[in-house]
Amino acid sequence: MAYFDSNAAYAYDYQAQAYSEPVRRERPEERPAKRPRLDVVPGAGREANQAVSPVFTHVVKVFAALVLLFVSIGLARVTIAGYTTSMLNANAELSSSLEAARDESSNLEVMNSVYGADTRIRDLATGALGMVEPEDSITLDLSDSADAAQGEASAANGQDAAQGSSATSNR
């Protein structure tokens, strides 16, 4: 039963022109362009939840992390520079006080040599105090007598120790 294939189908159809063969064109380029497909998506329209895309959120997070890293590195650099400056100032202050101490030490050595000179002391004694030099002088060397005194003291201590031990053994 080829009802749709026969000419009888056209005869019984009230819309025969809808089934007529389409007009064939000689060139395929002349075909009309297809219209873009339009899909309708049901939703809430402007009141829909307009969430931010995860890619945008990731980019914002990376940007925030980079800004935080940049700020922390800058803060660390400022802190290190401040600490370095304070250490350099302390070193300069210490160097200047060391130079001042060296200058004062050299001045004191000069003063000691000037005020401790034998000729100056003789001049002051004779000029200001009216003292005179002795005609004859005696020099005592007590180093030999000090050694002898120490030797005698140690011998006396040895005899006392020997007498103390013999006294305890006789009892």
Give the largest CA-CA distance in the chain. Answer: 176
pTM exceeding 0.85: no
For the chain, residues with pLDDT lower than 50 are 1-2, 16, 167-171
Query: Looking at residue 167, what is its pLDDT?
Result: 47
Write out the DSSP string of 10-76: HHH-S-GGGGSPPPPPS-GGGSPPPPPP-----S-GGGS--PPPHHHHHHHHHHHHHHHHHHHHHHH
Distance CA 32, CA 111 (A): 118
Contact 10, 16 (CB under 8 A): yes
